[in-house]
Every structure is written in structure tokens, then in C-alpha cells.
A and B are shown apart, each in its own frame.
Chain A
Amino acid sequence: MHQHPSPRSPLSRRSALTALAAVGALLLSACSGTPAADTPASRTGAPVDGGTLRYAVAGSPATASDDPHGGLGNESDVLRFALTYDVLTVPGEDGKTRPRLATSWKPNDAMDRWTLTLREDARFTDGTPVRAADVLYSLRRIGGKAAENYGRLADFDMAKSTAPDEHTVVLATRAPMADAPRALESVTFVVPEGTEDFSRPVPGSGPYRVERTSAQTTVLTRNDTWWGERPHLDRIEIQAVADPQARAGAVASGQADVAGSVSPAAVKSAGPSAKTQVVRRDGVTEYPFVMRLDTEPFDDPRVREAFRLAADREALVDTVFLGYGKVANDLPTPYDPSAPEDLPQRARDVKKAKELLAEAGHADGLSVTLHTTTSYPGMDTAATLYAQQLADIGVDAEVKVEPADTYWTAVYAKKAFYTGYYGGISFPDLVRVGLLSDSPTNETAWRSKSFDDGFARAMSTADEARREELLSGIQRELWKDGGYVVWGTGDGLDLAAPGVRGLPDGPGFQRMFIDQVWMAT
């Protein structure tokens, strides 16, 4: 959520597409999740202290950065920042926001001013205490770098935000925003006030400190003055490896203990083996098929329904994610806490789909072009298989694989029928970016007064249960009538050596908070 673009400025309009799409799971996913330290593995024995964990994680020198408030193009950098800086809040077990540097938060009645209380025992590694001024400085710096970070905090009005005392921050939002604490999860890295130069290690207040760093490898050592539960590992070695196959290979050959974000094919190739364990994170990858409601033939709800009924969801999950995923029910954010759970699962119904097409005047068949690309592994496969399935209901879908570097500017939110990408974005974020009548990248051309009103009401509702009920209500409308065919979600997959315990398995950036991981001997 932190990384969603603002729906308002032209700058973030561009960011919306890039953020949602091009930068991927990394930038989009930090919204809900289960906590790190509570995986079954960690419960199987008393944690052992000591040791060095070698973590091979996605990262290429071309996008490497030392600035925690910039684009965060490399997971390897995010992992380093998450371990060396404190953040305001983190995603919790049930997808709800948990305290970290902020111990509590309270909105005003209008839900557009949030008062955050900061912990008093946090210190930077140079010994100075972490003050509200440092937090405000860091948030403002993130806001100021909107062009680089896709308007990550664009829904906050930093000019109107204040730090009334040493341990209190009052944040202003541009509109009522009941999910503001969630927007502050995971990537609100706090640095000392006035820090501009990140070329040398900057004092942080996180669980680890930087021992040495280079474009390829960073070595972190435990920060014994950290306020939180004492981390078990003495050192963490972060290896930036761009190729997912190479990351998987590093664990298989014993050169790394953990490989982050590997492909289903790599996990399947590794096979069931005593040498590796697989960590699966729910709902990390989603390639929905996107239909524009303002363009023929998708302006007819019967055509959209027929297209949803044509999908053989199991076959798609089995083929595109090699089974490492789950069938979805046309809700674009199935893992959001507000997703309605009582909707009937849509299943393949070729006969009904044909009837609907005939009713819509396409009894003699229908020709469409389904755009896709190779930005993320399996996007092209998904489109090709779905085109086969559409052929069964009499639709001739021509698959067009577009170049990855122009897809998110020339196809995304422009063409009438294409393959989209979401990486665990929260429902409120998705709404702001793409589902309100005036959203900057309303890719399905979804314009519904009742939907807009329902969302506005939810965002100014303080009561959580009532808010989720409202959000759930507008998702039903989307399920029935919207422009998405959400057939399934793919798991995030990490490979680890058998002795590694306590690896986070929640979606999003939650996986970056590995401060309670330990190694069994």
C-alpha cells in the first residue's frame, strides 16, 4: 500500500502503471500477511543463537540503490533496508497492521488526521535517540521523491503533517483514509533528520547494522542495542542475484542458505529433496485478464460473464504456476481481509457461456485480440492457454505478445483485452488507483456511483468491522459485473536449506523482516 501511486497528480498517473505493473511484487505486495516469526518451523524447537545466514535475493547492479526512500528496484536493497532501518508499522498475522516504531495510532473523527505515538527506547547506531522529527523528515523525503518511488505516500499531505513533541507525529491525509496505518507498513524507513548522502552507511535503528556493502554482497551484523527481541543470527549476508534460476542453484549447491522468489519450474526441478525446503507465500502473483467496459464487445455484461465462465481455472493454475497457486473467484484482491468469502466460486461452464454469447448476438462466434507480454514469467503462457479455453466457447482469441519494455505504457490500461499483473496490492489501494470513476488508471473503465460512494463511506468509517463490511459490499458488485477475469493467484516461492527456521511466509514485504530467523544445527 505504501507504494501505491496517488490517483491525483499527473506524475503519479505514470507511476500508477509502473508501480502496479512493472516494478512488481516488490513494490506492490506489502499489504497483508502473516508474521515472520510464527511459522510452524520456528515452533518446532527452541531457537538457537548464532551463525551467519546467506540470503540470495533478487537484485541487479543496474537498479541498485543505497537510498531507502527511492524506487526500491532491488529486493536485495529492500532486505538490507528492512534489517538496518526501523519502519513505522509492519504487516501482521491476520493481515492487520502491527506496531513497530509506532506503538499506537489514533485518527480524528473525520479520519483524515492520524496521531502516531512512537516508542521512546529506539536509538540510531550512533547513539542518538529516534525522534518524531526524524520520522517526519523521512516521510517527507519519501513524499518528495514521488517521481522515483511511484508516489508511495501520495495520499498523505506532508506539508500539513506535524511533529508536536519528541515522540508524537500527526499525519494528514488528502482524503479520509481509514487504512492509513496500513499505508505506513514495511517501507517507511526512518533515517536521522537531515540525511541526504547515502553513499556511506547511514546510522539506522533496525535489528542489524551494515558491516560492509557492495553492489553484489552486503554483510550485516547484529545491532545489540536494538529495542526489539534480540535477533538470533550473528550475521546476515545478502547476495544480490538477478536470475531466479541462479538463486535456486545457489541453495542447491550450498552457496546460499535461502533463495528468495524463485520460479515454480525451479522449485519443481529441485524436487522433493532433503536438501531444500520450500516456503510458499499465498497470493503473491496474479495475472488477471482485463476487459474494458467501454469497448465492444466487453460493454455487454453477458460477454464478460461468458468470458469468466470460459476459464478453466484449475488448468490455468496447474499450467502457469505448475500448481503452486490457488484458484481465484474474479476478486482482484482475494487475500485482502475485506474480500467477501461467501460468494459462490465461478466454475467453467461452456454451455452457459455459449448461451450468453448467443444472447449477446455473437452466436456465430467472436474474434478478439488478447494482449500479453513476458514481463513476469507465465504471463504469455496464461494468455495462450486461456485463448485455447476461449476457443471452446466459440471465441477466436488471437494472442499478441507485446515487448515487455513498452507493454505498461502502450497496452496496460489502454487496450480492451489484455493480461494484467498484480502483486498482492490491498483492495483500498487498488480502488484508489484503478476502480474509482476518476482513478488515474481505471483499466476496466469501471464507473459506478454506488461503488464510489461505498468506498468513500468505508474510508471515513472508524469501526473496522463495519468498514470491512462496506468494502466487502462493493467487491460483490465487482464480482458480478466488473471487467476482471481473476482465475488464480500464484504463490511466492522461496527455497531454503533444511536448517533454516522461522522464515516469513506472509505475502508482500513481510518476507523482508527476517530478524527472528535462526539456524538449527
Chain B
Amino acid sequence: MTGAPPPFFPKAVRPSVSVTAALTLLVCVPLGRYAAPHPPERTVAAPWAPPGGRHPLGTDVLGRDVLSRVLAGGTQLLTVSLLAALAAVVCGAGLGLAAGWSGDRTARTVRALCDLLLAVPALVLALVLATALPGATAVVVAAVLAGAPLTARVVATQCAQLRDSGHVHAAVERGERTPAVLLHEVLPALRRLVAADAGLRLVTALQIAAALAVLGLGPQPPDPDWALMLSENLPGAALNPWALLAPAIPLAGCAWVFAAAARTAARVPGEAA
């Protein structure tokens, strides 16, 4: 009993490193713009100047400060991805609960619909949608169509198992109506599953949004967007590699952190990390 002092947080509520990192990113990225040393949309030096002097990461295709652009970028990408992930999870969970609760017939219909949607690759879906819809809308719709079926599948399976559990039976016996049972008894039991799933949906949405932006179907110049910066600066990779690396690192970093956070969220509290 004389070992290490007890942790500040009880184990059950102690936030994991990855979840903290994910939340920090969501807060910090939109604030980055205010830390930019130069106006991110103005030409301030020669194009593709290597790092040095007033430009620690050099300049980009138009002679704009790479560091400022990286700091200013990402907000739109994260906002769109978050919205897309949220929409996918809400749609997927709703569909999953309906299928899992109502049993055979509805479940089969939902499963068939999900299989159909999952047969189409998410990126192809996004590209087709982007020809008709604005970039951000296309990302959200594609993430829902590609992600919701996955969420629906796992939720439906778990929901079907919970239907037979004691506390759900008790609630039904009490005479509570189905929506109330789903909302108050089933959904809370599935919260970890849904949280973990949301993290994965966020990673997918991020990938779709980045892909569309690289192809020029997302934000338009002169917006500082990490993915757009990749395609803008590709021709100058040999002159200033940082114009390419600097936006690639946060882009990959975000996806990695969200995936890790999702994995952590899925873990049963108290289990070793």
C-alpha cells in the first residue's frame, strides 16, 4: 500500500493519451490560423524557397509561407470530416437499432441494403457525387453511404443480443415504449461500440475529403488546405520538399490519432492498455 500514489483520475474515467490527443487536435487546429507568422494567402517570397530565415519551412508554389499555410489549414477538412462521421454514425446506428430490435424480416432487408452499398468503393462513390454536388456535401453523402452500413451491421448484431438481456426485458415488462427502451436501455449499453465506430468513420471521412481535395474537387485556391497543398506543391518536391511534407504530416497524423482514439474507446474500462 505504500507504492505509487493513487492516480489523479480513477481508472474508469482517466482519459487515454490518444483520446486526449484527438480532442486537443480538434481544439487546436482551428486556432492554428492565429499563430501563423505570415498571411497564409499572400505571396511573400520566391516560389519553392528552401527552409531558412523568415520561412522555417520554406515557401510553396506561389511563394507563400509553408508554415503559415500548414497552421492555417485543416479546419475545413476536420469540420467536414466530423460532420460526415457524425451523420454516418447517426444514420448507421438508427438503422442498426431498427434492424436489431425488430428481428428477422427488417434485419434481412437492412442487411441486403448494407451489402449493396458496401459493394461500391467509397472513393468511387465520392468522385461520382462530386461531379454533381459541392465538394463538402459530396464528402458527407459519400461518408454516410459508405460508413453507415458498417455501423448498422455491428449495432444491429449487438442490439439483437441486448434485446434478450434482463434489464431490457424488465423495461419492456414495465410497459415502456420501444423508442424509450432503445434510447434509455439499449443505446447506453452500446455507447463504447458507437464511440469506437465513430472514430473509424472519422478516419474514412478524412480520407475521402483529402482525396477529393487533392483531385481539386474540394477547397479552391488560395485556401490553405493540407490536401490541396499536396497537389499544388508536387511539381516543386525537389526544390522545397517541406512544401509537401509539412501538410502531409498533420494529415497523416490526424488520421492516425483518430484511429488510435477509436481503438482506445472500444476497450473495456480498467483493462490494461
Contact = CB atoms under 8 A, between A and B. Distances in A.
Nearest to B236: A265
Nearest to A245: B235
Contacts of B239: 265, 268-269
B15 interface: no
B216 A384 contact: no
Interface string A365-394: 000000000100100110111011000000
A388 B42 contact: yes
A388 B61 CA distance: 14
Given A265-B239, A268-B239, A384-B221, A319 B62 contact: yes
Contacts of B220: 398-401
Interface in A440-479: none
Contacts of B217: 403
A315 interface: yes
B41 interface: yes
A322 B61 CA distance: 10
Given A319-B43, A319-B63, A388 B222 contact: yes
Nearest to B219: A401
A263 interface: yes
A322 B47 contact: yes
Interface string A308-327: 00000001001100100000
A265 B238 contact: yes
Contacts of B189: none
B101 interface: no
A319 B221 contact: no
A374 B235 CA distance: 12
Nearest to B228: A401
Nearest to B47: A319
A441 to B, nearest CB: 25
A427 to B, nearest CB: 31
Contacts, number: 51
B63 A399 contact: no
B46 interface: yes
Is the contact region of chain B dominated by helix, strand, or loop, or is it mixed?
loop
B48 interface: yes
Nearest to A399: B221
Interface in B113-169: none
B222 A269 contact: no
A315 B221 CA distance: 18
Nearest to B48: A265
Contacts of A315: 43
A285 to B, nearest CB: 14
A36 to B, nearest CB: 29
A150 B43 CA distance: 39
Nearest to B222: A384
B216 A381 contact: no
Contacts of A245: 235
A381 B61 contact: yes
A263 B216 CA distance: 21
Contacts of B43: 315, 319, 385, 388
A268 B238 CA distance: 9
A384 B41 CA distance: 10
Nearest to A400: B220
Interface in B208-222: 216-217, 220-222
A401 B62 contact: no
A266 B235 CA distance: 8
B234 to A, nearest CB: 9
Nearest to A372: B221
Contacts of A388: 41-43, 222
Contact of B238 (A269, A318, A385, A401): A269
Nearest to A377: B235
A130 B24 CA distance: 78
A196 B232 CA distance: 45
Interface string B9-48: 0000000000000000000000000000000011100111
Nearest to B216: A401
5 contacts: A263-B235, A265-B235, A268-B239, A322-B48, A374-B216
Interface of A: 245, 263, 265-266, 268-269, 315, 318-319, 322, 374, 377, 380-381, 383-385, 387-388, 398-401, 403
Given A265-B48, A318-B46, 19 more contacts: A265-B239, A268-B239, A315-B43, A319-B61, A319-B62, A319-B63, A374-B216, A380-B221, A381-B61, A383-B221, A385-B43, A387-B222, A388-B41, A388-B42, A388-B43, A399-B222, A400-B220, A401-B220, A403-B216
What 6 pairs across the A-B complex have the smallest Cβ distances? A269-B238, A384-B221, A265-B235, A265-B236, A319-B47, A399-B221
